[in-house]
Structure 1
Amino acid sequence: MTAPTIHPTALDCGESDLEVTGNLMKFAVTANVLGFPAISVPVGYDKQGLPIGLQLMGRPWCEATILRLAAAIEQQWNEPKRKPVIYFDVTKGK
């Protein structure tokens, strides 16, 4: 599943789409509950220009393996990363 579209009104009052949230979190919940190391790696963009991430999950206590694999995947991805049309830098605040 690619990134869902964020509607402009969601920036003012929030958005709750349980079906989309459930699909996005389907495998992350398992990793969190069981303590498996996991990471999402950017691997491209869909036809609408929305980002696609590949989730990697490993055995408990194998964080180094997951990080090495994620770094190798990112090095193979030659396409430059794009900043979204709607972007908010959380490090700078409002």
Structure 2
Amino acid sequence: MQIHKNIFAKADVIVAPTTGVTAYSIFDDALKTGELDYINGAALVRYQIAGNFLGLPAVTVPVGYDKEGLPIGLQFIGKPWSEPTLMHIAFAM
């Protein structure tokens, strides 16, 4: 948390990709068993984990599509209790 406190002493928000990769194919057995592909799953959430563990608010906005037409998002992570600021940023995007 100290690293994030240092960042928020200088900035109102942290801007990061929402996910580390765009969506990937779901394997047939995953649909049947509910098993996840943990390697790809970890890449999907790599930019969300710290904020979630620290209880920091965040908002994601769509910013475009990759070359295969899959959506790309940008997330804004705020300091505790900064939800109004995050909503203003998201609306402005």
**Residue 49 of structure 2: which of 17, 25, 29 is its match?**
29
Identity of aligned residues (%): 48
In the comparison of the two structures, how many residue pairs are matched? 73
- What TM-score, normalized by structure 1, do the two folds share? 0.64
Any unmatched runs of 5+ in structure 2?
1-20
* Structure 2: distance between partners of 1:28 and 1:53: 12
Q: CA deviation at 1:33?
A: 1.3
Stretch of structure 1 that moved more, 59-68 or 8-17: 8-17
The residue aligned with 1:2 is 22
If the length of structure 2 is used for normalisation, what is the TM-score? 0.65
Give the letter for the 2:76 counterpart. Answer: L
Q: Between Structure 1 and Structure 2, which shows a larger proportion of helix residues? A: 2
**Structure of higher RCO (CA pairs closer than 8 Å, 6+ residues apart):** 2
Which structure shows the bigger proportion of residues in strand conformation? 2
